[in-house]
Structure 1
Amino acid sequence: MPPGGRPPAGGPGGPRRPGGPGPERRPADEPTDLLAPVQPPVAEREPQLLTHREPDEEVIEAYYDDEDEYDDEELTDEEARALRRKKIWRRVRRVSYVVLGLMVLSPLVAFAIAYQIVDVPIPEQVAAQQGKAITVLYSDGSEMTKIAPHGANRSLVKYEELPDTVKNAVFAAEDPTFMTNPGFDIKAIARAGWYQLTDRDSGGSGLTQQYIKQATEEDDLTLTRKFNEIVKAYKMSKQQGKPEILTAYLNTIYFGRSAYGIKTAAEMYYGKQLAELTPSEAALLAGMIQNPGRSEDEAYTKERWEYVMGQMVEHKMIDQAYRDSQTFPTIKPLADVQQFALEGPLAHVQNQIEQEMAKHNVPRNVAQKRGAVVHTTIDPAMQKAADEAVNEIMANQPEELKYSLTAIDPNTGAVRAYWAGKDGNGIDYAKGTIQEAGSSFKPFDLVAALKMGKGLGSTYDGTSPRTFPGLKDPIRNATDPNNSCGKECPIREAMRLSLNTVFYDMVLNDTGAQAVADAAHQAGIPESVIIEGKERKLLVGENGGRPNVGISLGGDDAQVRPFDMASAYATFAARGVYREPFFITKITDAEGDVLVQPPVVERPAFDPDPQKSRDIADNVTEALKVIPTSSKIGCAGGRECAGKTGTHELPDNASQNSKAWMVGYTPSLSAAVWMGRNEGNVALQDARGNAIFGSGLPGKIWQKFMDKALANSPKETFPKAKPLGQFENPRKVVSSAPSSTPKKEDDRKEDRSRTSTPTAPSVPESSAPPSIPTRPGGGRPCGVLCTSDPPPSSGGERPDPISDPTR
């Protein structure tokens, strides 16, 4: 550079000024200048929250790489919807894969864990648990008895002692694949699930599972319980052989009739040893495993026997020829084999207690495992009073006479005394028989009349005899021979005198027979009952139709159990509130924990309005409270009592009765006494040969019981009745002339009930007389359990039985 610091104008690399001196410019030799950027730099990105970071575009593109076909074009609506569907189904598939994997792996893991935890029951310990006694207490907490299981000290059967007949029958009935399955049958479990979905019954448990359930007492309908049961069954099958499992099962399973184990069952059903059982007999025992509580239900036992026999044929355990040759095996009567802790009348109490335990899902086998304590309603003083009253009145009376006494607390429904027969193993004459109620049924006629607007002062023609359309013979009254009540007889007086003509007229022409049956059902007579294992409908006509007009006099279709009459009259005593009768207040286990505490079941009886129901009941009581005194069986010390007697005449001898009743009550106790004979329609005669009426031996038993049972209780009076309808009696008009002309047809209310054959075809069905039922196929008299009577020897129709409250 020359002095002065200025480069020469044309120096190397320098620009040459236009027109100036110096060399030509050579750009390749010149330094490179930095040019300004074409685009501004990208602004620095703000930091983002980690929870809200958008996925990179590359990730999105990779995830939807199969949708690149849409990247460069705008989607139509149809294409957009298709794209959304693809996305949804892709996610559903991936979630399904995960869920399926969990469904497969989770049960396997749970099964493996449970297998290590659960314990398998030991047969000897299970059998020992079945031997606990049941303690039964009176209402005051004192002990009535202890019930030990039948064969509690039994020796366990060994596998070698099990005959093939028994093993085959049990396999056929409960688990045909037992010898090959791993402790459970998947097909059976699936089938049981399907049956439950279609509202059918099926257990789905094989023998091993049933044994587990029996041993652990766990039978709640939960998936957890079923899962544990399957795990235990599988573990037991791995640890023990099939012979050991079958032996444990047959030593501990319940067969009904208080029999645990196959050996005891053979004794209780047939009185035989195991080796003596035929394949047919073994089939019945195996069939009872499913529902042992129905061992006395004849229809059910036959059904199960036929099923097991069919299964044995199908699995080639017996041949068809043997099956065809067999009939239902003969079972020993329960009374001959059953062991009661109690004897005599108290054995019937025990039987009712056990039935109620089963009703509350605590049958004897469950109660014995828990060492249950049963708290009953039976009052020891009242039970003693019943026993003393019966024994004192019936001393030296004919043994052929049978009778029962039931006492119920109207305020709760609790059964306070139950005397159903001397022989505890024989017929229960309180709940095991149904009988014509006679005139003790007339209060239900009155209920029907009160509900339609009649009152105790309403009048009917009370003269006797009276003829009615369709009746060959006239209706007669046993009392009031001079017709003092006359043509305008008030209902309350007709009830006191038990005038048949009034109540037959009332039901035939006004209330109708069905209204009477409805009133009885509302008071407490059940719609149906079980007699000797069979259901019997009550207060219905032929073939289950509407009842006959004879129900008005307590004959024909007015057939009831003595126990239920005590309950129905208790509804009157409770002022129109029906309370379901019961024997058990609670059941606890051995430690005192409550297993069952049944609630009191109650409802207004005669009308949904409690006040109306009360008024009806009070009016009935108003009519009934004079009868015990007028019948000379009133309560001691002037105590107020109400009640009604009743008799059922012999069809061919109006001076003799085949059944006699007294049913009555105070505000705190209702009691019913019935008397009859096992032969049915046979004359009731006392030791002197006299005919027995309701106010006779039955009335005296009732009177003595009430006096003894209430001796230490305060005297109670009935509340004053609120008048319904025509309450007061009209001015009395006396007429001694019998009425032979019925009310005009137009004035009668039609009764569409079942009737007997009228004497003239023109007579309407509603005016037909009560029929006398006959035993199908002949005229032989029925026994005490029958509901049919032979026709009168004359071949004609007769009025229903009557009651004389003064005799």
Structure 2
Amino acid sequence: MRPPMPPGGPRRPGPGGPVPPGGHLGAGGPGGPRRPGGPGGPGPDRRPGEEPTDMLPALTPPPPPKREPDLLTHREADEEIDAFYEGDEDDYDDELTDDEERALRRKKIWRRVRRVSYVALGLMILSPVVAFAIAYQVIDVPNPEDVAAKQGKAITLLYSDGSPMTTIADSGSNRSMITYEELPEVVKNAVFAAEDPTFMTNPGFDFTAIARAVWYQVKGGDSGGSGLTQQYVKKATEDESATLTRKFNEMVRAYKMSKQQKKEDILAAYLNTIYFGRSAYGVKTAAKMYFNKDLKDVSQAEAALLAGMIQNPGRSEETEYVKERWEYVRGQLVKNGMIDQATADSMAQPPMAPLEEVTENALTGPRAFIQQQVFYEMAREPIGMTQEDAGRKGVVIHTTIDKKMQQAAEDSVNEVMKGEPEELKTSLTGIDPKSGAVLAYYGGSDGMGLDYATGTIQEAGSSFKPFDLVAALEDGFGLGSPFDGVSPKSFPGMDTKIRNASDPQNKCGPECPLREAMKLSLNTVFYDLVFNHTGAEAVAEAAWAAGIPKQVSVGGQKIDTLLGEGGAKPNTGIALGGDVARVRPFDMASAYATFAARGVHHEPFFVSKITDSSGETILHQHIDQKRDAFDTTNSQLNRDIADNVTEALKPIPLHSKIACAGNRECAGKTGTHELPDDASQNSKAWMVGYTKSLSTSVWMGRNEGNVALKNAAGQPIFGGGLPGQIWKKFMDKALDGTPKETFDKAKPLGQYNDPVKTTSAKPSTPSSAPPSSTSRSREEDDDKSTPPSPSRSNGNSSSTPNTGITCLPGLCPNPDPRPTGGPNPDPAIGGGRNDGGG
């Protein structure tokens, strides 16, 4: 009869043969000693009656089996064991192989990983739910009446001496709260289209909009993901921090508000408290501030404009931005089926009411641009305070504007431009070279249109030549270095010749020193200097170092200054202020201030301090942002470069018959830019100059861009003409009664003294002689007398078309889109016109 199978299945034969029934391997184990000669060595003989006796189980537990599956069998559920093991149990030995042990360990590890993952997933699902539920109970919903009561506090602007400039208050203060029924249908539709098309059906937030916003931000764009309810909560709580906690609390409040209140009441609360710009809180006040109308009389086109301003109300006076947002909302109205395409096509952008007609005590005329610049600066870092924020706090803003100088700027423009054609536009900026403070600012006459100081960018003409001189000084030349001043002059690769407008008799001759060439504004010299020696890129670098920003925002567009289209390098046209030498008038005042400050550039600013309404708590204090401009490693050389530029510019105001009154020492440079097709006419005219305490830029042009500038007598306007007269009047008025400061004596760099002329004027070779090695201010590694290498921009690179004023689209009705053509697009190269010193 077959003996019963031992627990765990049949055993395989091992050393010593099969295991006897009831027996165990190993000596001394249960079942008695082994027989003599068997495995385990000799043992005592059994008596005949003792075999085959079954032994009773030991009273003490046997040692744990070696086999791990047996252990699992005793402490795991059957179904887990089935899932754990694969194959027939008979395949396992008492001792597992190494591969079996590794497989076993892997299965145990993955089982633990699965369990941890299940727990983590559960926590991920449950934790937000629990947190949301807890937050729902403890977070309150803001009350619209309480929110409105906190809004619209007065904002006070002060002049630099602390005297009041203006007080800006919400014209809707003590406003009555409108109800949902009082909201015109056109307003509701416009707001839904602009901000939250699913408002009436979503739970307080829109997951699709949030996901879309995240996607835009991942791609580097900017998009808000908040619906109307969330926007209301954010403004009501005054918490706009970019944190997950704020966003989570905002979503909970929005959801709770949607559960507790009707959608109609939420919309009314939102439109009663949201900021629209123009110091208007609430849509009822906004209708009055934008169109001088009652809300009930607002048209669909006007409602679209109001709704468009919700996203960025601080830009309410930017013409192009307002147009862009209006067109967007109009498109959204069609997309969401609120109006048809025919209706949209028939809509025209509505005009906004002038600020002076609707705002109490706000700045008007030219000073409205000051107010605008102050709020722009406040919104940027490091201040980061919008006009809406300022209105909630009721702040006091200490500006840098000098009351006397501001009046002098306005009076000077009005006196010089009296009787002149209205189409002539001008700007004036006065900056303190010692700090960067903007002392006077005139962006235009009406304060409502284009700001010509910061809202335009155009060719600087010969007023850009001081940056050529900086590049030359850095390259080892000096004010006495000789260059060919004879006109006309040919250059390799050019079909046209360079001509000078001044010095028609070529008196300066073929060995014209740089200082004399600057005074006479000789095109041949400065083109030769850049073409054959410094290169165009060095001139651009000098201008950037002086204070011309590398990128500016004009008409809502980011523009890289002094670079060609697509970031192309400048060509030699920059030497004469053409090609890519397009700058804002405001920045020219800042850059020339660096010369006046002996090479130290101070970042310009309008806001010196911001306090609370009591004046006791300082919310912002300006910190001077200064740097050495031309040499960051050698402060003495940096000063010397600036002083040498000033030395070259000192004779020009007198030469142009616009010298400062009372023999006050001042320096500057005139400039003009010609029409592309008529070298006898100018399209822009400049005068930029300074004393040690005031740097001033005056620009003149027309909205059309490349259109001839003519005065009332029909004569062309040059830099020393109307712009120069405005500059002189302003400098004399602004500095009247102040000490007459003198410039520091320049330390000679390079060849400082004028060369001894030994020959009469005659045409010369295209290249000028380089400075000797002993006259250089710094060690040079290459010989600048050789022709420019292919890597240097020498007039053959591409450039952007010269279209005149770069301004807000729509305000330049007839720009000339024609490219200037040829290797050098600057018209002064072919036509020979420049400011001629005035």
Same fold (TM over 0.5): yes
Residue 403 (structure 1) aligned with residue 432 (structure 2)? no
What does residue 641 of structure 2 align with? Answer: 616
1:452 is the counterpart of 2:457: no
SS of the aligned residue for 1:249 comes to helix
Q: What amino acid does structure 1 have at the position aligned with 2:154?
A: A
- The residue that corresponds to 1:643 in the other structure is 668
Structure-2 separation of matches of 1:199 and 1:663: 39
Q: Is the 8 A contact 2:319 2:449 kept in 1?
A: no
More deviation, 649-658/544-553: 649-658
Q: Aligned with 1:114: secondary structure?
A: helix
Match status 1:701 vs 2:726: yes
Q: Secondary structure at the match of 1:619?
A: helix
Q: 1:252 to 1:659 in 2, by over 3 A?
A: same
The Cα offsets for residues 391-440 of structure 1, whole Å up to 9 and x where unpaired, read as 55556666565433211122322211112333222443322333432321
In angstroms, what is the RMSD of aligned CA positions?
A: 4.4
Greater CA drift, 214-223 or 568-577: 568-577
Aligned pair 1:442/2:475, yes or no? no
Q: Find the counterpart in structure 2 of residue 802 from structure 1.
A: 834
| AA in 2 matched with 1:706 | M
Matching residue of 2:227? 206
Q: CA deviation at 1:459?
A: 0.9
Partner deviation per Cα, 1:457-477 (whole Å, 9 max, x = no partner): 211111234455676665443
Q: In the alignment, does 2:328 pair up with 1:326?
A: no
Most deviating of 214-223 and 296-305: 296-305
Evaluate the alpha carbon distance shift between residue 733 and residue 257 of structure 1 in structure 2; reply closer, same or farther with a 3 A threshold. Answer: farther
- The equivalent residue for 1:10 is none
Aligned-partner residue type, residue 647 of structure 2 = E
Pick one of 523, 526, 529 that aligns with 2:546. Answer: 523
CA shift digits 1:25-44 (9 cap, x unpaired): xxxxxxxxxxxxxxxxx9xx
Q: How does 1:5-20 map to 2 (within 5 A)?
A: none
- The SS at the match of 1:661 is strand
Indicate the larger mover: 659-668 or 238-247: 659-668
SS in 2 for 1:798: helix
2:692 alignment counterpart: 667
Maintained 8 Å contact 2:483/2:768: no
Find out whether 1:749 has 2:793 as its counterpart.
Answer: no
Residues 525 and 565, structure 1, Cα contact 8 Å, conserved in 2: yes
- Cα distance 1:164–1:358, how it changes in 2: closer, same or farther (>3 A)? same
Structure 1 position 682 matched with structure 2 position 708? yes
Q: How does 1:305-454 map to 2 (within 5 A)?
A: 316-318=337-339, 322=342, 326=345, 329-333=348-352, 335=354, 339=359, 341-360=362-381, 361-391=384-414, 393=416, 401-454=424-477
Q: Aligned partners of 1:265 and 1:606: how far apart in 2?
A: 49
Structure 2 residue matching 1:374: 3-state secondary structure: strand
Query: Counterpart in 1 of 2:516?
Result: 493
Q: CA deviation at 1:283?
A: 4.8
Report the 3-state secondary structure (helix = DSSP H, G, I; strand = E; otherwise coil) of the residue aligned with 1:667.
Answer: coil
The letter of the residue matching 1:609 is T
Any conservation in 1 of the 2:288–2:358 contact (CA below 8 Å)? Answer: no
CA contact (8 A) 1:579 1:602 kept: yes
Contact 2:484 2:764 survives alignment (8 Å):
no
* 1:11 aligned residue: none
Alpha-carbon shift at residue 634 of structure 1 (Å) = 3.5
Contact 2:679 2:831 in 1 (8 A): no
Kept in 2: contact 1:462–1:485 (CA 8 A): yes
- Would you say the 8 A contact 1:137–1:374 is kept in 2? yes
Q: Distance in 2 between matches of 1:474 and 1:791?
A: 15
Q: Deviations over 1:67-109 (max 9, x none)?
A: 9999994554445445555665666566666656655555455
1:661–1:311 CA distance, 2 compared to 1 (3 A): closer
Q: Is 1:248 matched up with 2:269?
A: yes
Give per-residue Cα distances to partners, 1:199-237, cap 9 Å, x unaligned. Answer: 554433222111111111111122221222223223323
Structure-1 separation of matches of 2:336 and 2:801: 53
Amino acid in the other structure paired with 2:699: W
1:575 aligns with 2:598: yes
5+ residue gaps, structure 1 = 1-41, 43-58, 756-763, 777-781
Which residue identity does 1:375 align to in structure 2?
Answer: H
Q: 1:333 and 1:290, CA in 2 relative to 1: closer, same or farther beyond 3 A?
A: closer
In the aligned structure 2, how far is the partner of 1:261 from the partner of 1:149?
Answer: 10
Give per-residue Cα distances to partners, 1:147-183, cap 9 Å, x unaligned: 1235445443321122334333433443344333333
| 3-state SS in 1 of match to 2:363 | coil
TM-score when normalising by structure 1: 0.78
**Which of residues 104, 107, 129 is equivalent to 2:150?**
129
- Residues 319-362 of structure 1 show CA distances to partners (whole Å, capped at 9, x for unaligned) of 5x557x63674131575777471123222211211222232432
Paired AA for residue 350 in structure 1 = Q
Match of 2:275, SS state, is coil
SS where residue 439 of structure 1 aligns? Answer: helix
Partner of 1:605: 629
Query: 1:39 — aligned with what?
Result: none
| 2:758 aligned with 1:730 | no
Whether the 8 Å CA contact 1:649–1:800 is kept in 2: the answer is no
Question: Equivalent residues in 2 for 1:227-246 (5 A)?
Answer: 227-246=248-267
Matched AA of 2:439: R
Q: TM-score, normalised by structure 2?
A: 0.75
- Is 1:289 the counterpart of 2:289? The answer is no
Structure 2, unaligned runs of 5 or more: 1-59, 61-70, 770-784, 806-810, 822-826
Deviation for aligned residue 1:732: 2.4
Give the Cα–Cα distance (whole angstroms) in 1 for the partners of residues 298 and 436 of structure 2: 46
Contact 1:449 1:455 in 2 (8 A): yes
8 A contact 1:553–1:800 mirrored in 2: no
Q: Partners of 2:469 and 2:247 in 1: how far apart?
A: 56
CA distance in 1, matches of 2:581, 2:757: 32
Alpha-carbon distance in structure 1 between the residues aligned to 2:322 and 2:658: 47
SS in 2 for 1:349: helix
Aligned length: 730
Cα distance between partner residues in 2 of 1:367 and 1:384: 27
Is the alpha carbon distance of 1:111 and 1:540 closer, same or farther for their aligned partners in structure 2, counting shifts above 3 Å? closer
Distance 2:128 2:800 in 1: 69
Does the 8 Å contact 2:501/2:833 carry over to 1?
Answer: no
Matched with 2:67 is none
Rate the CA distance shift 1:417–1:206 in 2: closer, same or farther, 3 A. Answer: same
- How far is 1:530 from its partner? 3.5
1:45-56 mapped onto 2 (5 Å cutoff): none
Out of 562, 565, 568, the residue aligned to residue 588 of structure 2 is 565
Query: 1-side partners of 2:282 and 2:606: how far apart?
Result: 30
- 1:225 is aligned, of 218, 222, 246, to 246
5 Å-filtered alignment, 1:544-555, equals 545-555=568-578
Q: Match of 1:718?
A: 743
CA distance in 1, matches of 2:137, 2:421: 71
- CA 331–547 in structure 1, closer or farther in 2 if over 3 Å, else same: farther
2: distance between equivalents of 1:606 and 1:259? 46
Matched AA of 1:623: A
1:483 correspondence with 2:509: no
- Code of the residue aligned with 1:135 in structure 2: it is T
Residue of structure 2 equivalent to 1:513: 536
CA distance in 1 between partners of 2:673 and 2:828 (Å): 18
SS state of the match for residue 427, structure 2? Answer: strand
